[in-house]
Chains A and B, each alone.
Chain A
């Protein structure tokens, strides 16, 4: 019997929106047990599919530190003058290291892509 009916033709005549308007969504949701539904979801597998590194890389940490209370917390914990002097001294030395490395690298034609940045345990 069903073979004689053209289902597609019948569906074409149905106004789906009108049909949906007749559904009481709130009542439908009330009948759904969210806990039971969540119990069927493998959260670990779901979280495993999330690329946390990619998400974190999109966060502008520097902007966050500058604009939020996190900055104040960091400043409170490391606001010593000695720390400032130390950071400044080390940054200057590292800057000079980079200038030296750049000059030598250019003179000796070091290929940056084949020059290791550090020991394999620290830099992959």
Chain B
């Protein structure tokens, strides 16, 4: 009988930089895609009904920038306030919670979005904490009093993998080895 070494669950552990970056890129792709789609459809309908020839260049750049920032605030802030996670975070299996692990206060969720912008204004220095910090907190986390944790049970996923594998297939070690942290 092989030695027992259960896959660590990681549920509720601090999420690392790769997962958070992947979730962010997915979110940007979704939010920018939806914004472009809505703008395109709106201009099309306006041109159709008003018999005009409006295009994106018809409006000043500051207007589009303002609209985009408001939309991103609504997308990120609204998602964090409503459920603690955006679509990208849901896909990657992470969630924003308060520092002690309690559900994030909706207002903190809404304010976390402009704080995210602040991380960019510091030339990306606001994100350094995700990589080197013990709690992997970015500037927006420090300002909003939040942390990002795994909302996904790696052990259950491994059991799903084992359950799907044909019974006579040779055993394959696919788990990621990690020194067990003390409880």
Q: In the bound complex, do residue B157 and residue A91 qualify as a contact, i.e. CB atoms below 8 Å apart?
A: yes
Given known contacts A61-B6, A100-B18, A121 and B159 CB-to-CB distance under 8 angstroms: no
A-B contacts at CB below 8 angstroms, number:
130
Q: In the bound complex, do residue A119 and residue B147 qualify as a contact, i.e. CB atoms below 8 Å apart?
A: yes
Smallest CB separation, A76 vs chain B (Å): 9
Q: How large is the interface on A (under 10, 10 to 19, 20 to 34, 35 or more residues)?
A: 35 or more
Q: How large is the interface on B (under 10, 10 to 19, 20 to 34, 35 or more residues)?
A: 35 or more
Q: Interface majority SS on A: helix, strand, loop or mixed? A: helix
Smallest CB separation, B78 vs chain A (Å): 23
Residues of A within 8 A of B13 (CB): 117-118, 122-123
User: Is B109 positioned at the interface, with any CB of A under 8 Å from its CB?
Assistant: no
Q: In the bound complex, do residue B92 and residue A122 qualify as a contact, i.e. CB atoms below 8 Å apart?
A: no
Contact sample, A vs B, 14 pairs, CB 8 Å cutoff? A66-B167, A72-B163, A73-B163, A90-B152, A91-B176, A93-B92, A94-B16, A95-B176, A101-B16, A113-B182, A119-B99, A119-B149, A121-B12, A123-B13
- Name A residues whose Cβ lies closer than 8 Å to a Cβ of B: 57-58, 60-63, 65-67, 70-75, 78-79, 83-84, 86-87, 89-91, 93-98, 100-101, 104, 108, 110, 112-113, 115-124
